[in-house]
């Protein structure tokens, strides 16, 4: 998730959270229990989304590191091949 999409997600999440908080404070009885359940549900959704986003960031960082390592290995191999060719001349 890029920065703009993350900010939009956070704004929307906060809007829903604020609405639910206000509804909880104004409600009583069974309605209050229902709103509390919805608050717990949206919190679980946030935790899941945040976890997936973190896993994606970690995965992308590992992939980037692997690509850099591979590029370095290819460059080393090319230099070694060039030296071998020079020695064979």
pLDDT digits (tens, 9 = 90+) for 9-50: 999 999 999 999 999 999 999 999 999 999 999 999 999 999
Whether residue 58 is predicted with pLDDT greater than 90 in this model: the reply is yes
Provide the 3-class DSSP secondary structure of residue 2: coil
Mean pLDDT of 55-83: 95
Domain borders along the chain are: 3-63
Reading the block at residue 10, the tokens are: 């956070």
Mean pLDDT of 62-70: 96
């Amino acid at each position: 998730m890029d920065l703009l999409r993350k900010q939009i997600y956070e704004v929307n999440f906060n809007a829903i959270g604020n609405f639910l908080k206000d509804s909880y404070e104004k409600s009583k009885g069974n309605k209050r229990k229902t709103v509390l359940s919805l608050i717990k549900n949206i919190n679980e959704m946030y935790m899941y989304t945040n976890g997936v986003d973190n896993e994606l960031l970690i995965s992308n960082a590992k992939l980037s590191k692997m690509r850099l390592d591979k590029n370095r290995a290819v460059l080393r191999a090319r230099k070694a091949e060039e030296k071998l060719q020079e020695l064979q001349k």
